[in-house]
Amino acid sequence: MGSWNWIPLFWKGDKVSSSGFHSSSTAEEITEGIDASQLTTIVTGATSGIGKETARVLALRGATVVIACRSLEKAESFLEQNADAKIHVMEMDLSSLDSVESFARSFNSSYEQLHILINNAGIMACPFQLSKDGIEMQFATNHLGHFLLTNLLMNKIVTAEETGIQGRIVSVSSLGHSSKFDESWFNLEKINDQSNYGPFAAYSHSKLANIWHANELSRRLQEKGCNITANSLHPGAIHTNLCRYLNISSFILDAIAVATKPFLKSIPQGASTTCYLALHPDMKDVTGKYFGDCNETLPSAVARDKELSIKCWEFSQQLLNNLRGPIDVH
């Protein structure tokens, strides 16, 4: 997920850092020589943008890839383009908790194990609207749906981990998480207050929640001694359809895209960090970290705040309990 992800834009430099990769590295380059044929993976939002490229490269390396998506029609065209790959499509709308639960039931009954979960799907700066469950749409889609999905699939990841293969959970966040944060956000009435709604602020908070989720999940898994990692990332500045809700004419949008092209990543470059966290052997045992350009980097101070990570976790769990009844969140 990316767009011009987001302001400010960055120069797409090629400086090689500790991993040996840089901002111009592509997902195929990152995963060259890696055999993923024993792995089962899920990628949310994989019918366009970097999610689609992530799924394609995982399948290219031999993985069984389950695409969880809203549009089966878009997914079918993707399947036709990758007819020889082990790609399967299952319907899921992350903004609907019913849909997330339905997907998890279908996956859990069809697959014995899950090795890699990539929480990629997202929307950005959409007009105010509530989900089917009465939650502000960006928070519902970008965070709460993934929070529930991860929990419902955890037993399958644990089962895979027990075979000796380390499980990996990857959350696609954004540099946009670093805008101003207000703790009153941990209040559903505030989140759902249309009069105070700011599309970019809501996006920022949902991306901040992605990092908190990965960090707190990592801490809990380590406490339980599970051989499962959880990390988050910023994919870079990428022009994709994530910016479809921006109130800018298509002509101006195209002109901006042309003018900023030297500063932006391509979609194959934008998918590289996700694929690095998902498949690269250097990521073994690395958990609770935040990455950009295939290298560990520091998110904002508020994203690193352990107490806020716990508070976000508890807030999310309470929301699910209120909406769905008691849920055993791992």
- DSSP bridge pairs for 167: 228
pLDDT at position 267 is: 96
Residue pair 36/57 in contact (Cβ under 8 Å)? The answer is no
CA distance 187 to 325: 19
Letter for the amino acid at 291? F
pLDDT along the chain (330 residues), means of 10: 38 61 94 98 96 97 97 85 92 97 97 97 95 97 98 95 93 85 83 93 94 98 97 86 53 54 84 98 98 96 95 96 77
pLDDT at position 161 is: 84
pLDDT at position 91 is: 96
What does pTM read for this prediction?
Answer: 0.90
pLDDT at position 71 is: 85
pLDDT at position 177 is: 84
Positions marked catalytic: 197
pLDDT at position 29 is: 98
Residue pair 138/253 in contact (Cβ under 8 Å)? The answer is no
